[in-house]
């Protein structure tokens, strides 16, 4: 922000230092910018070039953390390693060019797989599973290797924010990072990115070479409107018994709700189950189909709007009561039942996930070669085999 800072900025910094357990704070305009600054500072202080990310993890849209589809340039300074894998730890222990390791705690729900967007639901092969202790053990091993090799460990909590615990993923998994990034949750939905880090990593100049700087700026960083909204959020997070109480037995509550809904889906003979990381849920489909992505439209007809990811994810507010959840669950069931009645989850002896992938590959090749598409409409319910209903 051009001009003097509002005094509320200092209060926000103090509160973020307490929450993160880290020394210094910088403000940015988005989560992507916060991650960019974290990586830039890590490279600056380690004098190393390469960033490590794990398969499927999202860290913003900028080039070095988004290799592959969507990036017109090769990410030549990025290593993408397998999550929760011993070989990845060996790479970290041996290479001398690694500037930092990025971890998105959301990947605990689906290691080595991307977000459950509609493009991943063209068949039913996607799986998810969350084991808190298993992932915490992995993070501890990762922490040990990074400490031994002098590699900054960065937790990208832009997505999970404060859903897991008041102190975020660091508190939830019991592992401390060297830097942590947060996003719009802190601003009550207003655009903001925050980087918290150890003092040695947050310094933007060399003590013995003052002209050797690590440049970062933004016209709207620390915008007064955003800082005011952030201060309200942080005050409530730290002081409000009603807010703080939402974290009591959070896992038990939401694991129980997921189990209850899964039983209802199974009893109704519907080909879907949910898996959850606290209030973040993903949908898994148990019958081969290339039309799973259509569930979002049936849910919309029931008054449920899903996140931008599409049909593969549900995101709940922490303050849902049992009555609130039951209303949503009934609508999920009604939408899924309507979709099955319309024949989109039909069954056939030759319908397998492998067959679906092969057909889609052929269709893509035909499109690439300029040939007319092949109809992929499902048979009518009268043509499809009857589906047993519970």
DSSP 35-72: HHHHHHHHHHHH---EEEEETT----SSGGG--STT-S
**243 vs 322: CA distance, rounded Å:** 17
From the list 34, 32, 25, the residue with the least C-alpha distance to 5 is 25
Q: Which residues pair with 25 in a beta bridge?
A: 196
Percent of the chain with pLDDT over 70: 94
pLDDT at 388: 41
Q: Using one digit for the tens of pLDDT, what is the confidence trace for 113-125?
A: 988 887 788 899 9
pLDDT band at residue 215 using 50, 70 and 90 as cut-offs: confident
pLDDT band at residue 383 using 50, 70 and 90 as cut-offs: very low
pLDDT at 120: 81
Angle of helix 132-149 relative to helix 86-94, nearest 10 degrees? 10
Q: What is the distance in angstroms between the CA of the first residue and the CA of the last residue of the chain?
A: 60
- Give all domains of the chain, ordered by start, each with its CATH number: 8-247 (3.40.640.10), 249-390 (3.90.1150.10)
Sign of CA dihedral 22, 24, 29, 33: negative
CA separation, residue 203 to residues 42, 85, 199, 331 (Å): 10, 33, 6, 51
Sign of CA dihedral 104, 109, 110, 115: negative
Assess whether pLDDT exceeds 70 at residue 384.
Answer: no
Tokens 């955003």 correspond to: 226
Assess whether pLDDT exceeds 90 at residue 251.
Answer: yes
356, 290 in Cβ contact below 8 A? yes
Average pLDDT over residues 83-105: 98
Q: Using one digit for the tens of pLDDT, what is the confidence trace for 364-378?
A: 999 999 998 876 555
Does 279 or 222 have the greater pLDDT score?
A: 279
pLDDT at 375: 63
What phi, psi does 262 have (nearest 5°)? -60, -40
pLDDT at 149: 98
DSSP secondary structure letter of residue 375: P
Mean residue pLDDT of the chain comes to 91
**25 vs 180: CA distance, rounded Å:** 10
From the list 71, 78, 81, the residue with the least C-alpha distance to 112 is 81
Residues 30, 36, 39, CA angle at the centre, nearest 5°? 145
**135 vs 128: CA distance, rounded Å:** 13
Contacts of 357 (CB under 8 A, 6+ apart): 122, 123, 125
pLDDT band at residue 340 using 50, 70 and 90 as cut-offs: very high
Q: Which residues pair with 42 in a beta bridge?
A: none
Q: What does pTM read for this prediction?
A: 0.91
Mark out the alpha helices in 178-249 (DSSP H runs): 199-202, 224-239, 241-244
State which H helix or E strand residue 211 sits in.
strand 209-213
Q: Which residues pair with 176 in a beta bridge?
A: none
Q: Which segment of 37-41, 60-64, 145-149, 215-219 scores lowest on mean pLDDT?
A: 215-219
At 329, list the tokens. 């669950």
Assess whether pLDDT exceeds 80 at residue 385.
Answer: no
pLDDT at 389: 45
**375 vs 373: CA distance, rounded Å:** 6
Contacts of 386 (CB under 8 A, 6+ apart): none
State which H helix or E strand residue 32 sits in.
helix 31-46
């Amino acid at each position: 922000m051009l001009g003097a800072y509002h005094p509320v900025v200092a209060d926000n910094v103090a509160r973020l230092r307490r929450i993160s357990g880290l020394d210094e704070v910088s403000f940015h305009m988005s989560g992507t910018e916060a991650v960019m600054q974290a990586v830039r500072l890590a490279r600056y202080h380690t004098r190393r070039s390469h960033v490590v990310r794990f398969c499927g993890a999202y860290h913003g849209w900028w080039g070095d953390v988004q290799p592959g589809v969507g990036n017109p340039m090769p990410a030549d300074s990025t290593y993408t390693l397998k999550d929760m894998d011993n070989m990845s730890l060996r790479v970290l222990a041996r290479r001398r060019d690694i500037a930092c390791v990025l971890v998105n705690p959301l990947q605990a729900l689906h290691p080595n797989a991307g977000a459950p967007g509609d493009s991943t639901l063209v068949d039913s092969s996607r799986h998810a599973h969350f084991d808190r202790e298993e992932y915490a053990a992995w993070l501890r091993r990762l922490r040990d290797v990074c400490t031994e090799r002098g590699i900054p460990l960065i937790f990208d909590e832009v997505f999970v924010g404060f859903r897991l615990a008041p102190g975020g993923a660091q508190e939830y998994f019991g592992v401390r990072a060297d830097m942590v990034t947060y996003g719009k949750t802190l601003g009550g939905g207003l655009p903001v990115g925050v980087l918290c880090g150890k003092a040695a990593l947050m310094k933007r100049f060399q003590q013995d070479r003052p002209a050797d700087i690590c440049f970062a700026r933004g016209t709207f960083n620390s915008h007064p409107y955003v800082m005011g909204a952030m201060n309200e959020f942080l005050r409530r997070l730290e002081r409000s018994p009603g807010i703080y109480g939402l974290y009591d037995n959070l896992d038990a509550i939401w694991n129980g709700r997921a189990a209850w809904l899964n039983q209802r889906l199974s009893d109704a003979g519907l080909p879907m189950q949910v898996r959850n990381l606290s209030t973040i849920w993903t949908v898994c489909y148990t019958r081969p189909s290339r039309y799973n992505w259509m569930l979002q439209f049936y849910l919309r007809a029931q008054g449920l709007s899903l996140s931008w990811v599409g049909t593969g994810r549900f995101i709940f507010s922490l303050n849902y009561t049992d009555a609130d959840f039951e209303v949503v669950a009934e609508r999920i069931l009604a939408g899924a039942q309507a979709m099955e009645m319309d024949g989109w989850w039909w069954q056939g002896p030759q319908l397998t996930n492998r067959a679906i992938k092969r057909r889609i590959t052929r269709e893509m090749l035909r499109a690439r070669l300029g040939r007319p598409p092949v109809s992929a409409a499902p048979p009518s319910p009268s043509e499809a085999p009857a589906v047993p209903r519970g």
